[in-house]
């Protein structure tokens, strides 16, 4: 269970980015966070893995508050949280399998990570995950030679090899064509179900959120506006979130 209680964050005095954000997410749930640009969606994701330090509140994973963790505890916590990025965050000159194996760096010493010392079992698991995301034939190919959709699937495999409880996806389909975007969303949804993950994706594509998410969280000006099953997202809620009629996005 991931539970956020009264999360607050300000980048400037008297200009809150997040105000009293609270929600719960159960394992096996695919969550879409929606809202206009600048609403605070990315700030929420970066707070969840403590890439930024929030000002107040609680972030509980299985009852443990990450905000009070020391450096060693934070390292262990981050192993449990995979990240999927809009710009992929791959090392383009390295092979696909090398990039997937980077997901194991949180379990390695600095020296082992620098020299790429991975076990036979880790390499076998990386190949198995590449097969799962449909890229086993690309294992030894440089990432620079891949399409955007393929790169995103490498990023997903990299997150899975961490053995995460949570995967955070920051606009994972924003840079993809419609067909690739649908493939990535279907993959994220199926993996959430298969591994009983908590998957949280920031999305601008309302139709995709409605189609694939189990739970939708709506953010506006740093405030929680909506937190319900995806089926309950209405035209009125969308107007409240975006200050305009975007109901065509539901089609």
Same domain membership, residue 192 and residue 75: yes
Give me the pLDDT at residue 34, please. 98
pLDDT digits (tens, 9 = 90+) for 57-108: 999 999 999 999 999 999 999 999 999 999 999 999 999 999 999 999 998 8
Same domain membership, residue 74 and residue 24: yes
Which of 203, 233, 197, 195 minimizes the C-alpha distance to 215? Answer: 233
Give me the pLDDT at residue 247, please. 52
Same domain membership, residue 75 and residue 176: yes
Same domain membership, residue 109 and residue 49: no
Residue 249 has pLDDT above 70, yes or no: no
Would you call 11 exposed, middle or buried from its count of C-beta atoms within 10 A (0-12, 13-18, 19+)?
exposed
Residue 149: domain span: 90-163
Tokens 């405030």 belong to residue: 223
Residue 114 has pLDDT above 80, yes or no: no
- d(Cα 49, Cα 107) in Å, to the nearest integer? 16
The structure tokens listed for 50 are: 């403590």
Cβ atoms within 10 A of the Cβ of 155, count?
Answer: 27
Same domain membership, residue 107 and residue 119: yes
**Where does the pLDDT of residue 109 fall: very low under 50, low under 70, confident under 90, or very high at 90 and above?**
confident
Q: Which of 109, 142, 163 is the endpoint of a domain?
A: 163
pLDDT digits (tens, 9 = 90+) for 169-213: 999 999 999 999 999 999 999 999 999 999 999 999 999 999 999
Tell me the whole-structure pTM to 2 decimals: 0.94
Same domain membership, residue 237 and residue 200: yes
Same domain membership, residue 158 and residue 171: no
Residue 101 lies in a domain: yes
pLDDT digits (tens, 9 = 90+) for 150-171: 999 999 999 999 999 999 999 9
**Rg of the Cα trace of the chain?**
18
Same domain membership, residue 94 and residue 76: no
Q: Which of 112, 141, 163 is the endpoint of a domain?
A: 163
**Where does the pLDDT of residue 2 fall: very low under 50, low under 70, confident under 90, or very high at 90 and above?**
very high
Across the chain, mean pLDDT equals 94
Same domain membership, residue 171 and residue 72: yes
Give me the pLDDT at residue 248, please. 52
Handedness of CA 224, 226, 230, 235 (dihedral sign): negative
- d(Cα 190, Cα 232) in Å, to the nearest integer? 22
Say which DSSP state 246 is in: -
Q: Tell me how many domains the chain contains.
A: 2
Q: Which of 163, 187, 202 is the endpoint of a domain?
A: 163
Give me the pLDDT at residue 246, please. 56
Residue 85 lies in a domain: no
Residue 28 has pLDDT above 90, yes or no: yes
Same domain membership, residue 248 and residue 180: yes
């Amino acid at each position: 269970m991931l539970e956020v209680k009264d999360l607050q964050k300000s980048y400037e005095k008297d200009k809150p980015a997040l105000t009293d954000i609270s929600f719960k997410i159960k394992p096996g749930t695919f969550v879409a966070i929606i809202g206009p640009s600048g609403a605070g969606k990315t700030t929420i994701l970066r707070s969840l893995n403590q890439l930024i330090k929030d000002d107040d509140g609680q972030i509980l994973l299985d009852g443990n508050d990450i905000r009070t963790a020391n450096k060693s505890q934070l390292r262990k916590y981050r192993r449990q949280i995979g990240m999927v990025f809009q710009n992929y965050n791959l090392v383009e000159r390295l092979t696909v399998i090398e990039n997937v194996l980077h997901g194991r760096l949180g379990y390695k010493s600095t020296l082992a990570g620098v020299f790429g010392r991975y076990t036979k079992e880790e390499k076998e698991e990386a190949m198995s995950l590449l097969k799962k995301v449909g890229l086993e034939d690309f294992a030894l190919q440089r990432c620079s030679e891949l399409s955007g959709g393929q790169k995103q699937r490498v990023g997903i495999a990299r997150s899975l090899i961490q053995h995460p409880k949570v995967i955070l996806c920051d606009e994972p389909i924003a840079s993809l064509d419609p067909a690739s975007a649908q493939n990535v969303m279907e993959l994220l949804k199926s993996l959430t179900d298969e591994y009983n993950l908590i998957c949280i994706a920031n999305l601008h594509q309302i139709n995709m959120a409605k189609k694939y998410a189990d739970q939708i969280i709506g953010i506006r000006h740093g405030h929680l506006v909506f937190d319900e099953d995806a089926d309950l997202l209405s035209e009125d809620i969308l107007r409240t979130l975006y200050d305009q009629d975007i109901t065509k996005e539901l089609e």
